[in-house]
Amino acid sequence: MSTAVAPPREGPPLPGVLRTSLARTGLELREYSRSRDAVIFNVLFPVLFLFIFGSVFDGDVIPGVPFVQYFTAGMAASGVLLVSFQALAITIAVERDTGTLRRLEGTPMPRSAYFLGKVGLVVVTGVVQLVVLLACARLFFDVPLPATAGDWGTFAWVGVLGITAGSLLGIAYSSVPSSGRSAQAVVAPVVLVLQFISGVFFAFPSLPSWMQDVASLFPLKWLAQGFRSAILPERMEAAEVSGSWQHGETVLWLAGWAVVGLVLCVTTFRWRRRGDR
Amino acid sequence: MSDDVAVRVRGLHKHYGQRRAVDSIDLDVVPGEVFALLGPNGAGKTTTVEVLEGYRARTSGEVSVLGADPGRPTRAWRARLGIVAQDTADLAELTVTELVRHFSGFYPRGRDAEEVIAQVGLADDAGTRARALSGGRRRRLDVALGIVGSPELLFLDEPTTGFDPEARREFWKLVQSLAADGTTILLTTHYLDEVEVLADRLAVIASGHIVATGTPRDLGGRDHARATVSWRDPDRPGGVATEATDEPAALVGHLARRFGGEPPGLVVSRPTLEDAYLDLLEGA
């Protein structure tokens, strides 16, 4: 066996992680902005649904709190999972299948730059999406913005935890579809089903309790509840199933899922198609 | 490990269960040469090259690429390689310039994107998205991404498969210009004409074995093989005389005297590279 260390060569050093990660984010954003379906079904999906549901259901969840206000929090939560979990799981599965990952593996790009580039993409698209969503809710449906600095702070930490957990789980889940072609079909139903059971399309207390229990195992329920605590008036806290916003539990569940995602990423991530070894 | 070989392989094996995709291969590639790995589909060419590129773990054997073990690839080592893989179709929505510039940023010696694009002949398509490039031009983009880091060693895996004849000739010129700049190139192919035009040396691989190494001129001893001389002769059956000889010039001189001028229908031939290659595969 020959020596494992390449002979030292003089010359410029390898490009750093920060620089390559920023370059990755820039390229990801360009690529993303050019795929029209991703932009519409990912970033704009919650806004689209806000307009549809906001126009159809004009009743109150409880007197004085219109459904659209409750729904805005749900759409913010769904949007976070769409741009993180769903977008990453699909695009990485496709990039693995078409050979982009393999090509990158053959270059001296720092491995971490690939993931940080993806996270950069998620953060940018997530922030754009949330800003557009809140602005539309405010302008077209009179949904009040978070009332206090504390509410904005809550909105921010819920968003950050959601994006972190969603991104890590999305990277991990990208290994589940067996091909790029099947990725959409394998990934999309996950968020869709969660939306029905997690208090997004229907008010959470109106769901059967077994469904509430199932939903409580997954991140979307906690994300939606967290955003509700930032957007809805304080008196709505009593209308939650537990009678509380449960901030402590929310942090634990979202951080827990982030750790699960991280462990799965580290142990199962593949740069190549299945069977390519 | 000395620095006078770019690639050194001894007793390389790659097994998948019972199947021996690569079954004891030895190879030496010296810096600055174009080395071709020639063989039919499924012979083990790509598997071998993928071990050298650091993509595949080997079952056993001693492998050194630019002085390092590709089984434990480092970033610094990868920065010295260029890889052009088989049939790619990724990164479709980005333009040639965007991609070349982006990949240049991964390397300590990343080259100017515009210069690389001009070198591979894509200046006209600098703003074109990868998906809109024709097969041949898409391949040029792959080569641009392979050479943008100023590699010491460039892998080209079946680079012209599916090309029309004109595109292949154009592509060969590109490879020759890279070789002229001193880049060591390891090329896999199943085209004999490609080997004849591009390779300084080659190895023929069949069923996971190397069955011969040499230059395109002397492969399988074809430079020493007997020449065949044939001419028209109404006295012989079929009207054509054929003789195998070690001294074709003497025989032709003798014929010229006998016919008192040009022998009719004179042909002097030696085994072509294709003859030598097919003989080797038959024996394998």
pLDDT in tens, A142-159: 888 998 999 999 999 999
pLDDT of residue B144: 92
Q: Which of A274, A254, A272 is CA-nearest to residue A262?
A: A254
Task: Collect all residues with Cβ–Cβ distance below 8 Å to A114 and sequence separation of at least 6.
Answer: A24, A101, A104
Token pair belonging to A208: 């059967």
| Per-residue pLDDT, B1 | 43
Nearest to A168 by CA among A66, A52, A84: A84
Contact yes or no for A20 and B69 at CB 8 A: no
Nearest chain B residue to A33, by CA: B93
Nearest CA in chain A to B79: A108
pLDDT at residue A243, as a whole number: 81
Q: Angle at CA B17, nearest 5°, toward B13 and B23?
A: 25
Q: Which residues of chain B have pLDDT under 70?
A: 1-3, 284
A162: confidence class by pLDDT, cuts 50, 70, 90: very high
A1/B12: higher pLDDT: B12
Q: At what angle do helices A219-231 and A149-173 cross, to 10 degrees?
A: 160
Inspect the interface and report whether the beta carbons of B93 and A2 lie closer than 8 Å.
Answer: no
Of B263, B213, B256, the residue nearest B236 (C-alpha): B263
Cα A119 from Cα A102, distance rounded (Å): 20
Residue B138 and residue B94 in contact, taking contact as beta carbons nearer than 8 Å: no
Average per-residue pLDDT for chain A: 89
Looking at residue B167, its pLDDT comes to 81
ipTM: 0.86
Pull the structure tokens for residue A42.
């990912």
B140 touches chain A (CB under 8 A): no
Q: Which of B53, B63, B80 has its CB closest to that of A106?
A: B53
pLDDT digits (tens, 9 = 90+) for A243-260: 888 999 999 999 999 999
Does A3 contact B109 at a Cβ distance shorter than 8 Å?
Answer: no
Q: Evaluate whether A41 touches B105 at the Cβ level (below 8 Å).
A: no
d(CA B276, CA B284): 12
Query: Is a pLDDT exceeding 60 seen at residue A267?
Result: yes
Helices (H), chain B: 45-52, 75-78, 96-104, 113-119, 135-147, 165-180, 192-198, 248-259, 273-283
B180 touches chain A (CB under 8 A): no
- Give A1's pLDDT tier (boundaries 50, 70, 90): very low
Polymer length in residues for chain A: 277
pTM assigned to the model: 0.86
Between A6, A34, A106, which is nearest B76 by CB?
A6
Contact A6 B88 (CB under 8 A): no
**B195 Cα to chain A: minimum distance (Å):** 25
In this structure, the strands spanning B227-232 and B81-84 are unpaired
In the numeric block, which tokens belong to residue A64?
Answer: 């004085």
Q: Give the pLDDT score at A4.
A: 45
Give the whole-angstrom CA distance, residue A228 versus residue A200.
Answer: 10
Q: Is a pLDDT exceeding 80 seen at residue A136?
A: yes
Task: Convert the pLDDT of each residue in A25-60 to its tens digit.
Answer: 999 999 998 888 778 778 888 999 999 988 888 788
Q: Which residue has the tokens 């799981």?
A: A89
Residue of A nearest to B142 (CA): A103
Whether B225 has its CB under 8 Å from any CB of chain A: the answer is no
Q: Contact, B2 vs B241, CB < 8 A?
A: no
The dihedral over CA atoms of A43, A48, A49, A51, expressed in degrees to the nearest 10, equals 140
CA distance A70 to B267: 91
- What is the SS3 assignment for B277? helix
Q: Report the C-alpha gap between A53 and A195 in whole angstroms.
A: 14
What is the β-pairing status of strands B60-65 and B7-16?
antiparallel
Quick check: B67 and A7 CB within 8 A?
yes
Q: String of b and e for B38-58 (b: at least 16 CB within 10 Å)?
A: bbeeebbbbbbbbbbbbbbeb
- B102/A27 Cβ within 8 A: yes
User: Please, are residues B246 and B270 in contact by the beta-carbon 8 Å criterion?
Assistant: no
What are the pLDDT digits (tens) for A65-88? 888 999 999 999 999 999 999 999
Residue in B10, B59, B93, B106 to test binding to A, most A beta-carbons within 10 Å: B106
The confidence band for A277, taking pLDDT boundaries of 50, 70 and 90, is: low
